[in-house]
Amino acid sequence: MTRRIIVVGIILMLAGCAAPVPPALRAPGVTRTSVVAARAHIVPPGVMVRWGGVIGHVTNGARATWLQIISLPLREDGRPRRSLHSGGRFLARINGFLDPDVYAVGREVTVVGTFSGFKRETIGHFPYDFPVVHVRSQFLWRPRPVIRYEYAAPWPAWGWTGPMWVGPGWGMGWSWGWGGPYGY
């Protein structure tokens, strides 16, 4: 009996670790294909895809908003994975108006829609064939938390450290004696 409870507890615990796919990104018939495959003309137009990445440019038209997205591989939950390698860029056509301050450059987004071919535009002066997705649904991810690393001197300091005197202990700034900020 206790063995069954332990097994069920472990299964529930492991199931809780899996991040769920947001409802906007769940769609039947989505193929596991990439922007790289589309750019290599392996993917035929009309295929339902789920692609994501970082917004590179936002253009609002009269009836639709075009997002230029720098493609990144997706995690299991659909969020773009942090990576130094991109699969290229693609254009996402979304009906209606999207506020460019909300869908800002640098934000992570995932789209689900129909791959409809290519559109030739330029990046700077370089001509580029962008794969185009007519978006059925999109999900704008919350910004990732910023992790700051601060440096603290691993030696004790004596002396003047700004507006106050610091005796023995840890300090930052100018000090005299042994173990100052420069080690002498």
Q: Which of 28, 31, 24 is nearest to 47 (CA)?
A: 31
Would residue 136 count as lying in a domain?
A: yes
Would residue 156 count as lying in a domain?
A: yes
Would residue 4 count as lying in a domain?
A: no
Would residue 10 count as lying in a domain?
A: no
If asked whether residues 159 and 74 sit together in one domain, one would say no
Backbone angles phi, psi at 17, to 5 degrees: -80, -25
When pLDDT is cut at 50, 70 and 90, the band that residue 128 belongs to is very high
Would residue 165 count as lying in a domain?
A: yes
Question: Chain-wide mean pLDDT for the chain?
Answer: 81
Least confidently predicted of 3-12, 45-54, 91-100, 110-119: 3-12
If asked whether residues 121 and 176 sit together in one domain, one would say no
pLDDT at 130: 95
If asked whether residues 180 and 99 sit together in one domain, one would say no
Range from 9-13, 54-58, 159-163 that averages highest in pLDDT: 54-58
3-state secondary structure 92-131: EEEECCCCCCCCCCCCEEEEEEEEEEEEEEEECCEEEEEE
Query: Could you please report the per-residue DSSP string of 126-157?
Result: EEEEEEEEEEEEEEEPPPPPPP------SS--
Q: Which of 69, 65, 114 is nearest to 94 (CA)?
A: 65
Q: What percent of the chain has pLDDT over 70?
A: 71
42-98: pLDDT as tens digits:
999 999 999 999 999 999 999 999 999 999 999 989 999 988 888 899 999 999 999
What is the extent of the structural domain holding 79?
Answer: 19-140
Would residue 92 count as lying in a domain?
A: yes
Q: Which residue has the tokens 């290599």?
A: 40
User: From CA 111, how far away is CA 131, in angstroms rounded?
Assistant: 13
**How many structural domains compose the chain?**
2
If asked whether residues 167 and 105 sit together in one domain, one would say no
If asked whether residues 128 and 158 sit together in one domain, one would say no
